Amino acid sequence: MDMVVTGALALSCINIVRATGNSVLAFPPTTYTSTLPLVVLQVISALAHYDFSILTNNAIIKSPSRLLRYLAFAAFFIITLWTLTQSARMAELPVPHPIDNLMDIAEKQSDAWTRQATTSGSLLGATQEYHRRHNRFPPPGFNDWYDYAIKRHSAVIDDFDTINEDLGPFWALKPSELRLLTAQAVSDPWNEVVLVKIRGGTASFGKVIPTHKWMVEGLVKMMRGFAFHLPDMDMAFNINDEPRVAVPYSKLRKLRRTPKYESGTTKKSINWSANRAIPLDVLSSSNGTVTPQGLFDNWSFRKNFRRFGSVNCPPSSYVHRLRTWDPTILCTSCAAPHSEGLFLSDWTLASSACHQPDLSDLHGFYLSPSAYKPTNELLPIFSQSKAPNYMDIRYPSAWNYIDKVNYNPTINHTDPPFSVKQNVLFWRGGTTEGFSDMGTWMGMVRQRFVHMVNNSTMSMPVLQPTSEGISVYTYNQIPSNQVEHHPLLTNAAFSTSVGFAPDITRCYGRDCDLQATGFGLHNQSDFQDQWRYKFLMDLDGAGFSGRFFPFLQSHSVPFKAALFREWYDSRLTAWKHFVPIDLRLHGFWSTVAYFAGSLGNHRDSLASGPKDRGEFIAESGRAWAAKALRKEDMEIYLFRLLLEWGRLTDDRRDELGFQLQSSS
Ligand SMILES: *[C@@H]1O[C@H](CO)[C@@H](O)[C@H](O)[C@H]1NC(C)=O
Ligand SMILES: *[C@@H]1O[C@H](CO)[C@@H](O)[C@H](O)[C@H]1NC(C)=O
Ligand SMILES: *[C@@H]1O[C@H](CO)[C@@H](O)[C@H](O)[C@H]1NC(C)=O
Ligand SMILES: *[C@@H]1O[C@H](CO)[C@@H](O)[C@H](O)[C@H]1NC(C)=O
Ligand SMILES: *[C@@H]1O[C@H](CO)[C@@H](O)[C@H](O)[C@H]1NC(C)=O
Ligand SMILES: *[C@@H]1O[C@H](CO)[C@@H](O)[C@H](O)[C@H]1NC(C)=O
Ligand SMILES: *[C@@H]1O[C@H](CO)[C@@H](O)[C@H](O)[C@H]1NC(C)=O
């Protein structure tokens, strides 16, 4: 049985790890010495050459004098000599570990983001800043929102660009169309989309199955403090974890061509239209162009990357050019654009599907989602998170708001200071990423992860200091049976959820047996018991991970590998607030080695905060979460999102705008 599982897993897991260490991996050189300076200098040298030929061919110097030619040659010779000596010298200089570099960059990016996130100091300033960013006035009620945010000490006042990004495409649809599509989406329970409506300043929700009631109930609770500021309106909330809206490139292009609201000329503040509450049954009657039955398709348990995951990528993108690859080896060209060596360097770019065709085989959501009813139409659906290139409107999930999972250390389960925690990376969770039939579990991130840390028989690439000096690094292959000699301790296993029978879930027949034998199953450990470990792995489930907030709030370091992105994505900076891991997992061991080993223990170059780099990330994430990811921040985000939605669906939206009456 073991052979079967191992052999099959090899398809998607082990060989990826193995491939990473050898020549297949094109982008990190075997020895990470001064390649960057070398490249830079080669470029300089090439440019010098280029300059030179331009010089001699230049029309102005049609027949350069002999002297000029000698001079030019001499200049070229000197430049070449100089670059060579420079590169020789620089090759001897210690070269930082890529993670040192990534952390330094993250520090700067996060500072820059925070600075621009709140630049205004008054309602007038915020109104002007809004206009500057979006070329239109804020929606009506902006003053109420501003008061709400200021009273709750929001760290972010001006940067809500995520809202703009999510709602942007919907300006191409008429307000009446948006209302109609909303009404149609919620009209059929099969769609698994639930109506949340505001009437007379009170929020309420439509019919929902009991297991998913917490979602909309929590949402209504989240709105309690500000619903009376909202106009009458309807929203369609996706009650599945999986996102829904994937619009093909050609359709989007057509939509982009429709004239959009660009006005910024409103001269006075105008209130919402009257009679916004149109009864749903009137709306969803035969007037529409789309029938409710045809809105969504059932694609549960089906491979869907081509049909949905990458449909909105331009035809020229890599995802459409590379149609086949060997899933048993790491697709380095797919990872390279967002990587530096083995490490994930660009968290934002990593959330684009267009250069990553191999994702198709590497996530439960693309391989076999459990409850998946997507559409290729641009429908206004509010979702808790979205996969790359999806167009769901993100909103703060009630999951963390109503403490379905929370950070709550107790006397018996303390969260000790980082330095006294166990030097171990910990993960527990269920087999919930997707539904496994025909072996699809072998590509899922959770399964690949547990297998990799618990059963891998292969050696893994780890970037380590060379014997000559701590600051020069080499990729070494470490056999898995030796990882304990290197400080790479992990503790990962599948476990049952509280209140459920111990069982491998979301699988069919043989797939359940194979997983049960291969992975075993542990009893659920107390969620609050995890704070004893320095490093906590965070992986997607069927949708976003509900544990990430508590992980951030703790004194431990979250390691996050994720396809899904949530409302707060732009507020966090990878390598500053958490440690990003590529979904291919190929840099995992080397990243753990960096933080858990001796490498991460010096942090002299950075100005403030703990010297241990792991502790630095743990404390940065914790401090920022306490400031910008509070429950208040979820309310503030949702409030602003719904004001925007209110305007978007208002027939007079082109005139609607909040503008402070100036004293003149
Ligand atoms: C907008 O209209 C509502 C009722 O329709 C009213 O209560 C509110 O005072 C108005 N706000 C402004 C700024 O005119
Ligand atoms: C639907 O169509 C009927 C007849 O064409 C019209 O009277 C009615 O106002 C329309 N309803 C909506 C909500 O547009
Ligand atoms: C969706 O499709 C799956 C697989 O064909 C099927 O098992 C499931 O019952 C369907 N769900 C609905 C709601 O139709
Ligand atoms: C802590 O553990 C002790 C003994 O194991 C138990 O009596 C006590 O109720 C626990 N306290 C909490 C808050 O769980
Ligand atoms: C795999 O997990 C089991 C059970 O937790 C543990 O005993 C074993 O040492 C693990 N193997 C490795 C290689 O980590
Ligand atoms: C993984 O390791 C566990 C514990 O060491 C063992 O029981 C299980 O059979 C192994 N699975 C595979 C697929 O090798
Ligand atoms: C798991 O829990 C059950 C009962 O809740 C207990 O009988 C069993 O021994 C536990 N297993 C382990 C490995 O702790």
Nearest ligand 2 atom, CA 285: 1
Beta sheet of 193-199, edge-to-edge order: 202-205, 193-199, 233-238, 382-383, 393-394
Helical H segments across 224-279, by residue range: 249-257
Query: Rounded distance, CA 527 to CA 181, Å?
Result: 41
Q: Say yes or no to pLDDT of 522 above 60.
A: yes
pLDDT attached to residue 293: 60
> At 464, which helix (H) or strand (E)?
strand 459-465
**Better pLDDT: 325 or 541:** 541
Ligand 7 center to 406 CA (angstroms)? 24
Give residues (CB < 6 A) around ligand 6.
2, 5-6, 454-455, 518, 520
pLDDT attached to residue 34: 29
Tell me the whole-structure pTM to 2 decimals: 0.84
Query: Rounded distance, CA 232 to CA 204, Å?
Result: 11
- Helix (H, G, I), strand (E, B), or coil: what is residue 226? coil
Characterize 599-624 residue by residue with b for buried, 16 or more Cβ atoms within 10 angstroms of its Cβ, and e for exposed: bbeebeeeeeebebbbbbbbbbbbeb
**Mean pLDDT, residues 415-440:** 93
DSSP 495: B
Backbone angles phi, psi at 525, to 5 degrees: -95, 160
pLDDT attached to residue 398: 97
In a mutational test of the pocket of ligand 5, which residue from 5, 447, 450, 454 has the highest number of ligand atoms less than 8 Å from its CB? 454
Report CA-CA distances (Å) from 587 to 232, 328, 535, 574.
50, 17, 15, 15
Query: Rounded distance, CA 383 to CA 393, Å?
Result: 6
**Mean pLDDT, residues 125-152:** 95
Of 569, 526, 532, 568, which is closest to residue 405 (Cα–Cα)? 526
Beta sheet of 473-479, edge-to-edge order: 31-32, 473-479, 459-465
Q: How confident is the model at residue 219 (pLDDT cuts 50, 70, 90)?
A: very high
pLDDT attached to residue 261: 52
DSSP 272: P
Identify the nearest ligand to the CA of 437 by its number. 3
pLDDT attached to residue 407: 97
Q: How confident is the model at residue 4 (pLDDT cuts 50, 70, 90)?
A: very low
DSSP 624: H
pLDDT attached to residue 660: 80
Query: 304 near 211, Cβ under 8 Å?
Result: no
pLDDT attached to residue 489: 82
**Better pLDDT: 456 or 101:** 101
pLDDT attached to residue 594: 87
pLDDT attached to residue 130: 95
CB atoms within 10 A of CB 254: 11
Query: Rounded distance, CA 495 to CA 520, Å?
Result: 9
Helical H segments across 573-612, by residue range: 588-596
Proportion of the chain above pLDDT 90, given as a percent: 60
Query: Rounded distance, CA 398 to CA 395, Å?
Result: 9
Nearest CA to ligand 6 atom 1: 455
- Helix (H, G, I), strand (E, B), or coil: what is residue 602? coil
Q: Say yes or no to pLDDT of 426 above 70.
A: yes
Query: Rounded distance, CA 197 to CA 203, Å?
Result: 6
Identify the nearest ligand to the CA of 275 by its number. 1
Q: How confident is the model at residue 596 (pLDDT cuts 50, 70, 90)?
A: confident
**Better pLDDT: 39 or 599:** 599
pLDDT attached to residue 63: 43
- Helix (H, G, I), strand (E, B), or coil: what is residue 235? strand
Comparing 107-116, 129-138, 593-602, which segment has the lowest mean pLDDT? 593-602
Query: Rounded distance, CA 615 to CA 617, Å?
Result: 5
CB atoms within 10 A of CB 424: 18
Nearest ligand 2 atom, CA 283: 13
Nearest CA to ligand 3 atom 8: 300
Long-range pairs for 558-564 at CB < 8 Å and ≥24 separation? 558/621, 559/425, 559/535, 559/588, 559/591, 559/592, 561/445, 561/449, 561/537, 561/585, 562/538, 563/351, 563/359, 563/363, 563/365, 563/387, 563/388, 563/445, 564/243, 564/365, 564/385, 564/386, 564/387, 564/540
> At 7, which helix (H) or strand (E)?
helix 2-10
Q: Is the CB of 56 under 6 A from ligand 2?
A: no
**What is the dihedral sign for C-alpha 166, 167, 173, 179?**
positive
Range picked from 166-180, 384-398, 436-450 for highest mean pLDDT: 384-398
Nearest CA to ligand 3 atom 14: 298
C-alpha 99, offset from chain centre:
19
**What is the dihedral sign for C-alpha 100, 571, 379, 237?**
positive
In a mutational test of the pocket of ligand 6, which residue from 454, 456, 514 has the highest number of ligand atoms less than 8 Å from its CB? 454
Ligand 7 center to 522 CA (angstroms)? 8
Task: List beta partners, residue 204.
Answer: 197
Query: Rounded distance, CA 333 to CA 143, Å?
Result: 49
In a mutational test of the pocket of ligand 3, which residue from 212, 298, 301, 436 has the highest number of ligand atoms less than 8 Å from its CB? 298
Q: Say yes or no to pLDDT of 503 above 80.
A: no
Q: How confident is the model at residue 17 (pLDDT cuts 50, 70, 90)?
A: very low
Nearest ligand 3 atom, CA 190: 13
CB atoms within 10 A of CB 70: 11
Q: How confident is the model at residue 294 (pLDDT cuts 50, 70, 90)?
A: confident
pLDDT attached to residue 452: 87
pLDDT attached to residue 70: 72
Joined together, the tokens standing for residue 113 give 């983001």
Beta sheet of 422-429, edge-to-edge order: 490-494, 422-429, 533-539, 557-561, 579-580
Instruction: Name the residue type at position 151.
Output: K
| pLDDT tens, position by position, 621-651 | 999 999 999 999 999 999 999 999 999 999 8
Task: Identify the residue whose tokens are 């029938």.
Answer: 291
For the chain, give the mean pLDDT.
Answer: 82
| pLDDT tens, position by position, 457-485 | 677 778 877 766 666 777 778 776 666 56
Nearest CA to ligand 6 atom 8: 518
Nearest CA to ligand 4 atom 4: 412
pLDDT attached to residue 464: 76
Q: How confident is the model at residue 282 (pLDDT cuts 50, 70, 90)?
A: low
Ligand 1 center to 141 CA (angstroms)? 9
Q: Say yes or no to pLDDT of 85 above 70.
A: no
Query: 199 near 148, Cβ under 8 Å?
Result: no
Query: 206 near 186, Cβ under 8 Å?
Result: yes
Q: How confident is the model at residue 655 (pLDDT cuts 50, 70, 90)?
A: confident
Query: Rounded distance, CA 170 to CA 229, Å?
Result: 23
**Better pLDDT: 545 or 598:** 545
> At 516, which helix (H) or strand (E)?
helix 510-519
In a mutational test of the pocket of ligand 2, which residue from 176, 284, 287, 651 has the highest number of ligand atoms less than 8 Å from its CB? 287
| pLDDT tens, position by position, 323-365 | 887 777 889 999 999 999 899 999 999 999 999 999 999 999 9
Query: Rounded distance, CA 102 to CA 401, Å?
Result: 32
Query: Rounded distance, CA 373 to CA 301, Å?
Result: 11
Nearest CA to ligand 5 atom 14: 454
Q: Is the CB of 411 under 6 A from ligand 4?
A: yes
Report CA-CA distances (Å) from 91 to 85, 157, 471.
10, 46, 12
C-alpha count within 13 angstroms, C-beta hemisphere, residue 556 = 31
